[in-house]
Structure 1
Amino acid sequence: MRPLTFSDDEGNEQRWLPGGPRSALDAFGEFLDQRLDGESDCASLRIEDEENEEALVLLLDEEAFCRVKGGRNPRTEYRLISSKNDYRNLLVNFVRAGFAALDRFGPWLPETDGPAGLARARLRVTFDGSVLRATHPRELRRRLDVLTRVDGHEPTTTDGVTHLGFGNGSGDTVNAWLTADGSALVVTFDRTSRLHSPGDAEADTDAQAALYEGVPEDLLVLVRNASAADTTLHVPHPDGGTLVAATGVFHLSGPCAMADGLVTRLQEARLEIEDTGVGRLLEGFLTLRDFTPGTVGESAPWWSAEDITRGFAATAASEQGRSATAPLDQGEVDRFCKIWADSGYNDRWDVHYVFFDGRTREQAGDAREELLRLIEALGLDGVDAPPGAATGEMWVRTDPRIDNELGLWS
């Protein structure tokens, strides 16, 4: 432990020394309570280790922390506070061991991102709590298949890519392109959204292209010069050709995420995820615990009962026509489960198995190479790890055949 200084942006300061009757955390908690007593307008509080030129700054308005290292040309990085435990853990670890002890709580945003970066990060955290993020791609595909047929269309597959789409009778649509390797691009188009500006065609063309920034190229090509469909509106692309019009762009090359361009646009325009139309147009169907003709009819009065019944029946017939899945090799299943028990867990949505969290490729070692082989042998969907994940971290979509076995290993 070392001497620390507490301060706020109003000039108040308090010194804490090791060996006293109160811990540094308790002393800072009291200092914080005094700042939040209703009479103070302070926006930040600082814990500083002057000797080592390190500081941790609590940004009250942004609900974030900033860590600082160095007196001249300091290294400054930001991180959102996602929970009370997050807040306490950061404080405790900084008090105990300083700047470096906070590495394990990354990723930290560089100073160049500043408040804008925090706003974008908060949008991503908000989306992580969304229904779309929590829906397994397998179930997402099934429901989109039903809704496509209910809307009077047939799923179309070209070169291993299946297009699904439906509308609400008012010109608003949901479209999805799903590839053979399990990745997907979901696009919403809400005519009432502030992300749609039909009055300025040139500006809207540039803005539409910008929404797709950050989408992996193999998915982006699916909406460039796409085949015409009743559920897609094509707009000119600044570089020539066309682009599918959107107010929401979500890709599943890894865990479902908003496109970087969409996040930036929402942040710059001070809009929320609801402005993409994803809640109104899609998530209402995903929240239905019982996805049946009756519940869909209650949620979508623009479709007739006959249309809905026909769509469900057509999907059921299509599913029955698919070949049965070959049984899995029990030895390979056991080995997969053993690696999960040793170094994995299910994410909080039960959509992915996460392996080697926080480990580099070197730290994951031979087990990572074996896991790659098992994923292919078992026919599982391995996906890209989220941005900022350690180099050895691996994400695999959950599979009911594996889930049935994992109970024996947990």
Structure 2
Amino acid sequence: MRPLTFSDDKGNEQTWLPGGPQPALDAFQEFLNRHRDNDNAAFGIEDEENEEALLLLFEVGAACRIKGTQNPRTEYRLITNSGDYRTQAATFIRGGFPALDRRGPWLPDIPSLARARLRLEFDESVLRRTHPRELRRRLDILTRVDGREPTTTAGVTHFGFGNGGGDTVNAWFTADGRGLVVTFDHTSTLNSYEDPRAQAALYDGVPADLLALAGNAPETVLTVPHPDGGTLVAATGVFTFSGPCAMAEGLVSRLQEARLGVEATGVGWLLEDFLAMEDFTPEAVAETVGWWSAEDIAKGFAATTAPEQEQTPPDREAVDRFCQLWADSGYNDRWDVHYVLFDSHTLEETGEARNELLGLIRTLGLERVDAPPGAASGEVWVRSDPRIDAELGHWA
């Protein structure tokens, strides 16, 4: 243990020395409790000997770690709950700057922190919480309510509807569940219809196979010329389903630069209002929006084909083995949309068990998706499935 200095934004300081009457963490907590106020919400722990420091930034919900005094290395991390501040402080006190590696992810600058905050905000959204299976079902109905038909070409199904005033939702899903959802709110600050380069930038980071979908839209869909040729669907919101539902990197950057929230995409009133309905019925839709008649809504619901029932029971042995692997190394994500297996494991650590899992996913016809950015190389994300859900209760 080494000497530490506690400080705050008001110039208060306190030195803690090893061998004193209090553990360092308790002494820091007392210092924080004594000085924290509405206008005093930044506190630091400095290890002068090793040129390291940790800052707890309560007002902005973040922590900052610093290494070095000349050309210092400075990194930031979002804090999502009050207990995390104490955890960060305890980790730094025990092991300094390097020990905080496992308490990341640590981000290189303030703009990156702002983008991470936007992603966190979106992670609470209705769209992120909605299973793609249910999303596709409701998009199918809403497309028909709008007087259109979902169209499938080369294994890709396009859904789309609008409010008759130029605001639209377009979505594409492949046979294996990869998808792209695009919203367009013509009143939004994000409307770049007359600026093709800015419009294209909104799609930055979209996987190439999904980006191609937005460049192959029906003639009835509003498009914008792409600077490099072709077109893209006019968008104020771009959401990918290659892994867990996420905003495109280009969209996140634009929101961060313009200091806007997710609501600027129009996804809330154009799509999420329909997804938030516990009972998705003609009556509920008619009460929510006024741009369709009750007759059109009823016709759209009536025209929707009921989902096909599972014809062949799944392989019993494969189900049991999948559930066993889940019980040994997995869990459901917070919204029960995905099974996450081999969390934080590298490919080397998972060994043959991962290959076995991938084979089981194929055998059972489950939808495997890309692990989110920053996930360990061995992690496997699979969309939850009612057949498996029915069994997991016996294995939890």
Deviation at 1:238, TM superposition (A): 1.2
Partner AA of 1:91 in structure 2: A
Using the alignment, how far apart are the partners of 2:202 and 2:311 within structure 1? 38
Quick one: structure 1 residues 366 and 71, their matched pair in 2 at CA, closer, same or farther if it must change by over 3 Å?
farther
The alignment partner of 2:213 has SS state of: coil
CA distance in 2 between counterparts of 1:228 and 1:163 reads 12
Equivalent in 139, 154, 160 of residue 149 of structure 2: 154
Aligned residue pairs, count: 396
Residue 55 in 1 paired to residue 53 in 2?
Answer: yes
1:196 aligned to which of 188, 191, 196: 191
Deviations 1:291-337 (A, max 9, x none): 1111111112221222112111211xx235x4644211111111101
1:215 matched to 2:206:
yes
1:398 paired residue among 360, 384, 395: 384
**What is the aligned partner in structure 1 of residue 224 from structure 2?**
235
| 2:104 pairs with one of 100, 103, 106 | 106
Q: CA deviation at 1:115?
A: 1.2
Q: CA RMSD in A?
A: 1.7
Q: Cα 1:325–1:28, aligned 2, differ >3 Å: closer, same or farther? A: farther
- Paired residue type of 2:20: G
- Match in the other structure for 1:25: 25
Matches of 2:321 and 2:96 in 1, distance apart? 40
Query: How far apart, CA to CA, are the structure 2 residues paired with 1:159 and 1:105?
Result: 45
* Matching residue's letter, 1:130: S
Provide the rounded CA distance (Å) in 1 between the counterparts of 2:37 and 2:65. 25
How far 1:88 moved relative to its partner? Answer: 2.0
Change in CA separation of 1:197 and 1:396 when aligned onto 2, cut-off 3 Å: closer
SS at match of 2:349: helix
Give the corresponding residue for 1:376: 362
1:161 Cα deviation from its structure 2 partner:
0.6
Q: In terms of mean alpha carbon deviation, does 388-397 or 26-35 score higher?
A: 26-35
In the TM superposition, 1:158-177 aligns within 5 A as 158-177=153-172
Distance in 1 (alpha carbons) for counterparts of 2:267 and 2:121? 13
2:301 is matched with: 312
Rounded Cα–Cα distance in structure 2 between residues aligned with 1:98 and 1:214: 35
* Percent of paired sites with the same residue: 69
Deviation, 1:30, is 2.8
For the 8 Å contact 2:142–2:161, the answer to whether it is kept is yes
2:243 corresponds in structure 1 to 254
How far is the alpha carbon of 1:402 from its aligned partner?
Answer: 0.2
Give CA-to-partner distance per residue, 1:76-120, whole Å, 9 cap, x none: 22111111122222122222222222222222112xxx1111111
* Matched residue SS, 1:22: coil
Q: What amino acid does structure 1 have at the position aligned with 2:90?
A: V
Aligned to 2:64: 66
1:81 alignment partner in structure 2: 79
Q: How big is the shift at 1:197?
A: 4.8
* Mapped partners of 2:312, 2:104: distance in 1: 41
Cα distance in 2 for partners of 1:268, 1:33 equals 35
The letter of the residue matching 2:160 is G
Distance in 2, matches of 1:104 and 1:62, equals 22
**Gap change, CA 1:136 and 1:302, over 3 Å in 2:** same
The answer to whether structure 1 residue 333 and structure 2 residue 337 are counterparts is no
1:31 Cα offset (Å): 2.4
The reply on whether 1:366 has 2:352 as its aligned counterpart is yes
Runs of 4+ with deviation above 6 angstroms? none
Q: Which AA in structure 1 matches 2:140? A: D
Residues 339, 384 of structure 2: 8 Å contact kept: yes
Taking the aligned partners of 1:166 and 1:180, their CA distance within structure 2 comes to: 21
Q: Distance in 1 between matches of 2:303 and 2:93?
A: 62
Moved more, 210-219 or 90-99: 90-99
* 1:342 matched residue in structure 2: 328
Q: Which amino acid aligns with 2:26?
A: D
What is the CA–CA distance in structure 2 between the aligned matches of 1:126 and 1:21, rounded to whole Å? 42
| 34 and 165 in structure 1: CA distance in 2 versus 1, 3 angstrom threshold | same
Cα displacement string for residues 192-224 of structure 1 (whole angstroms, at most 9, x for unaligned residues): 1111155xx2xx211111100000000001112
Q: SS in structure 2 opposite 1:319? A: coil
Aligned partners of 1:100, 1:390: CA distance in 2, in Å?
Answer: 19
- Find out whether 1:126 has 2:112 as its counterpart: no
Which secondary structure state, in structure 2, belongs to the residue aligned with residue 92 of structure 1? helix
8 Å CA contact 2:192, 2:198 repeated in 1: no
* Residues in 2 aligned to 1:345 and 1:137: alpha-carbon distance in whole angstroms: 19
Give the structure 1 partner of residue 253 of structure 2. Answer: 264
Between stretches 385-394 and 6-15, larger displacement belongs to: 6-15
Unmatched tracts of structure 1, length 5 or more = none
In 1, Cα distance between equivalents of 2:339 and 2:106: 24
**What per-residue deviation string (whole Å, max 9, x for no partner) do you get for residues 148-187 of structure 1?**
0011000000111100011112211111010112110000
Match for residue 280 of structure 1 among 259, 263, 269: 269
The residue type paired with residue 392 of structure 2 is L
Tell me, what secondary structure is at the counterpart of 1:191? coil
- 1:2 CA drift (Å): 2.9
